[in-house]
Amino acid sequence: MLTIKKEFSFFKARYTIDAADIEVHGNWWDMDFQVLQYGEVIGKVSKEWFTWGDSYKVQILNEEMEAIIIALVVAIDCVKADQAASSSASS
């Protein structure tokens, strides 16, 4: 199960991700991060610039974890979209 939890912060939203000993290192708000399981890199994600809409380059290093890594990218993208919508609605 993949869970993204929003944590209280004074400056901007922070999130933690709980799933099968998976960690995200790097800047996931800007979609530039590595996905690790048990300390080993299993995937890399980076944002593709100069494209229509949001496009991401996803490199899967452990094919058994492909579905989880794709789900993680989709979940993070949804969290970012929700955050952007709530901040523009309150402006």
Q: Tell me the per-residue pLDDT of 26-84, one tens digit each, with 9 for 90 and over.
A: 887 788 888 888 889 999 999 888 777 778 899 999 999 999 889 888 888 887 788 77
Q: How far apart are CA 9 and CA 2, in angstroms?
A: 22
The answer on pLDDT for 91 being more than 60 is: no
Query: Model-level pTM?
Result: 0.71
